[in-house]
């Protein structure tokens, strides 16, 4: 650090600490008289038993500061001192964090000491300038046959994984984390049941997957603020490694629970519920959070966001909003899962918007033919199942009847099975070539 920079740092130091006092607590919301602070700033609430509780400024009402704590409000009483820090939440990041499991504020989840060699990084970042984003021109092998062939993903693409409960979202996330050729995975488990966290890490992710992953956990019993910060922390960690030139996979399960947490905060500060009970701030934070990922001049963040769909309704507000922001979506179909097809990706309802840019024309024509075969079979499925269709009536339907079982068999993949993209494409094309011959 040169002399001028050091002098500037000294000049910018604020020698004063600013305090306020807790006035009242209403549910999860804390009202304080002072201190001077801005929205998003971290404050410390000093309890009567000499503990400090982290809280964040989420709004103002007249001359009162509205705060929400990262933990419970049990120890907070009227008159407790509120100390302003003059900065937003920062987390410690670095290469030595790879293979670790942390919470929303960046601390080790098991309570162990943080590894050395980390630097502080703010969780609030601006999305990259649109003109500085390079075009997506290269595929990233995921190691899942159905995705690598029919729904090819590009480096820096953002994908939504839409599904109801129990259709295999976590299993698919684990397969992508283990099999993908990305340099590092950042996995955010937002609003998960506490029981499922260890199951995901040990069963779905596994030892090999954890070796190149950082897992951020905010369970369902934690405050709404902690759940939201889990999403921001995971995104910030991804941005840090992207700026170092890494190819990063960000997997967030689920963005719906982030929206629900923001709804809780919005209602607490008095926002009016609008679309199906969601507050306007929900539809404000989703684009700003999702747009932070993607490609930059230095590296890329390929993002996968799971979206919970109530009653498998793909048109509910959060699903509709997220689908309009992202660069594609995979739909996990309950009917396919019930038939035992895993991963239960409905190819016809899913789309990768950048696929035409990253797949050569000949391969694209083959894949479009396969999609056409699946579509023709679906259109005539009822007639086929009840025996009303007579073989020879339509050549295209005959071909679809012949190829549909073989395509379905190809699309299935064991949880621990890894197939590289070139091999998967070759296997799929052999299905068509054999039928033609």
Q: Which residue has the tokens 């009653």?
A: 311
Q: Give the pLDDT score at 36.
A: 86
Looking at the 3D structure of the chain, how many domains does it have? 3
Residues 216 and 81 in one domain: no
The answer to whether 431 and 424 have CB atoms below 8 angstroms apart is: no
Q: Which residue has the tokens 């030139």?
A: 245
The answer to whether 230 and 220 have CB atoms below 8 angstroms apart is: no
Q: Give the pLDDT score at 5.
A: 67
With 90 as the cut, is the pLDDT of residue 258 above it?
yes
| 13: confidence class by pLDDT, cuts 50, 70, 90 | low
- Residue 6 forms part of a structural domain: no
Pairwise CA distance, residues 328 & 348, whole Å? 13
Where do runs of H (alpha helix) occur along 115-270? 145-150, 169-179, 194-199, 206-210, 224-243, 255-268
Residues 278 and 336 in one domain: yes
| 313: confidence class by pLDDT, cuts 50, 70, 90 | low
Q: Which of 334, 356, 378 is the last residue before a domain boundary?
A: 356
- Residue 407 forms part of a structural domain: yes
* pLDDT, tens digit (0-9, with 9 covering 90-100), for 66-76: 999 988 777 88
Q: Give the pLDDT score at 1.
A: 52
Q: Which of 87, 117, 132 is the last residue before a domain boundary?
A: 87
β-pair type (158-163, 328-331):
parallel
- Range from 326-340, 405-419, 422-436 carrying the lowest mean pLDDT: 422-436
Q: Which of 308, 323, 356 is the last residue before a domain boundary?
A: 356
Residues 275 and 239 in one domain: yes
Pairwise CA distance, residues 359 & 18, whole Å? 57
Average per-residue pLDDT in the chain? 88
| 160: confidence class by pLDDT, cuts 50, 70, 90 | very high
Residues 48 and 122 in one domain: no
Q: For 189, list phi and psi in degrees, rounded to 5.
A: -100, 100
Contacts of 235 (CB under 8 A, 6+ apart): 123, 125, 188, 250, 289, 292, 293
Q: What CATH number should be reported for the domain holding residue 390?
A: 1.20.1270.330
Q: How far is CA 398 from CA 387, 408, 427, 428, in A?
A: 13, 16, 22, 19
Residues 49 and 167 in one domain: no
Nearest residue to 91 via CA among 103, 79, 81: 103
Give 358-361 contacts, CB < 8 A, sequence gap 24+: 358/136, 358/137, 358/138, 358/139, 358/152, 358/154, 359/139, 359/152
β-pair type (184-192, 213-219):
parallel
- Residue 106 forms part of a structural domain: yes
- Residue 40 forms part of a structural domain: yes
The answer to whether 27 and 268 have CB atoms below 8 angstroms apart is: yes
Q: Give the pLDDT score at 315.
A: 76
Q: Give the pLDDT score at 434.
A: 61
* pLDDT, tens digit (0-9, with 9 covering 90-100), for 75-85: 888 888 999 98
Q: By percentage, how much of the chain surpasses pLDDT 90?
A: 40
* pLDDT, tens digit (0-9, with 9 covering 90-100), for 345-403: 999 999 999 999 999 898 898 889 899 999 998 898 888 888 887 887 888 888 888 88
Which uninterrupted H or E stretch holds 282? helix 280-290
Residues 253 and 297 in one domain: yes
Q: Give the pLDDT score at 2.
A: 65
Where do runs of H (alpha helix) occur along 136-193? 145-150, 169-179
Residues 80 and 102 in one domain: no
| 103: confidence class by pLDDT, cuts 50, 70, 90 | very high
Where do runs of H (alpha helix) occur along 110-200? 145-150, 169-179, 194-199
Identify which has the larger pLDDT, 291 or 16. Answer: 291
* pLDDT, tens digit (0-9, with 9 covering 90-100), for 207-253: 888 999 999 999 988 888 999 999 999 999 999 999 999 999 999 98
Q: What CATH number should be reported for the domain holding residue 325?
A: 3.40.50.12240
Packed helices 280-290 and 224-243: angle between N→C axes, nearest 10 degrees = 20
Average pLDDT of the segment spanning 286-314:
87
- Residue 47 forms part of a structural domain: yes
Average pLDDT of the segment spanning 76-99:
90
Pairwise CA distance, residues 382 & 229, whole Å? 48
Q: Half-sphere exposure of 159 toward its Cβ, with a 13 Å CA cutoff? A: 31
Per DSSP, the residues of 370-433 read: HHHHHHHHHHTHHHHHTT-PPTTS-HHHHHHHHHHHHHHHHH---TT----HHHHHHHHHHHHH
| Range(s) of the domain holding residue 199 | 91-356
- Residue 5 forms part of a structural domain: no
**Dihedral, CA of residue 260, residue 265, residue 269 and residue 273, to nearest 10:** 0
Q: By percentage, how much of the chain surpasses pLDDT 70?
A: 96
Q: Give the pLDDT score at 158.
A: 95
Residues 331 and 383 in one domain: no
Identify which has the larger pLDDT, 315 or 320. Answer: 320
| 18: confidence class by pLDDT, cuts 50, 70, 90 | confident
Pairwise CA distance, residues 376 & 84, whole Å? 63
- Residue 222 forms part of a structural domain: yes
């Amino acid at each position: 650090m040169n002399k001028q920079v050091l002098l500037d740092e000294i000049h910018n130091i604020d020698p004063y600490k600013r305090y306020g006092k807790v006035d009242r607590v209403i549910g999860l919301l804390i009202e304080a008289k002072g201190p001077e602070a801005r929205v998003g700033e971290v404050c410390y609430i000093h309890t009567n038993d000499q503990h400090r509780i982290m809280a964040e400024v989420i709004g103002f009402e007249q001359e009162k500061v509205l705060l929400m704590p990262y933990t419970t409000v049990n120890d907070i009483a009227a008159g407790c001192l509120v100390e302003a820090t003059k900065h937003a939440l920062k987390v410690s990041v670095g290469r030595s964090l790879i293979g670790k499991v942390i919470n929303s504020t960046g601390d080790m989840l098991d309570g162990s000491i943080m590894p050395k060699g980390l630097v502080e990084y703010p969780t609030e970042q601006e999305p990259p300038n649109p003109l500085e984003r390079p075009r997506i021109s290269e595929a990233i092998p995921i190691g899942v046959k159905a995705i690598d062939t029919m729904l090819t993903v590009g480096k820096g693409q953002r994908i939504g994984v839409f599904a109801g409960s129990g259709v295999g979202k976590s299993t698919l996330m684990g397969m992508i984390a283990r099999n993908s050729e990305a340099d590092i995975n950042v996995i955010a488990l937002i609003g998960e049941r506490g029981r499922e966290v260890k199951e995901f890490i040990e069963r779905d992710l596994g030892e090999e997957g954890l070796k190149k992953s950082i897992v951020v956990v905010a369970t369902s019993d934690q405050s709404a603020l902690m759940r939201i910060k889990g999403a921001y922390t995971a995104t910030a960690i991804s941005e840090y490694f992207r700026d170092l030139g890494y190819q990063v996979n960000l997997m967030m399960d689920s963005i719906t629970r982030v929206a629900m947490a923001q709804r809780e905060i919005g209602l607490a500060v008095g926002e009016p519920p609008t679309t199906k009970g969601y507050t306007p701030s929900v539809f404000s934070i989703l684009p700003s959070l999702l747009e932070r990922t993607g490609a930059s001049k230095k590296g890329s963040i390929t993002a996968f966001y799971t979206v919970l769909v109530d009653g498998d309704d793909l048109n509910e507000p959060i699903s509709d909003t997220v689908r309009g922001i992202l660069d594609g979506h995979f739909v996990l179909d309950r009917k396919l899962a019930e038939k035992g097809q895993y991963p239960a990706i409905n190819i016809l309802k899913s789309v990768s918007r950048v696929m035409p840019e990253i797949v050569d024309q000949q391969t694209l024509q083959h894949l479009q033919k396969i999609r056409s075969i699946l579509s023709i079979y679906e259109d005539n499925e009822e007639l086929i199942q009840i025996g009303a269709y007579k073989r020879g009536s339509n050549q295209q339907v005959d071909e679809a009847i012949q190829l549909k079982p073989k395509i379905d068999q190809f699309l299935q993949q064991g949880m621990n099975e890894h197939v590289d993209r070139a091999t998967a494409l070759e296997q799929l094309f052999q299905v068509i070539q054999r039928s033609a011959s």
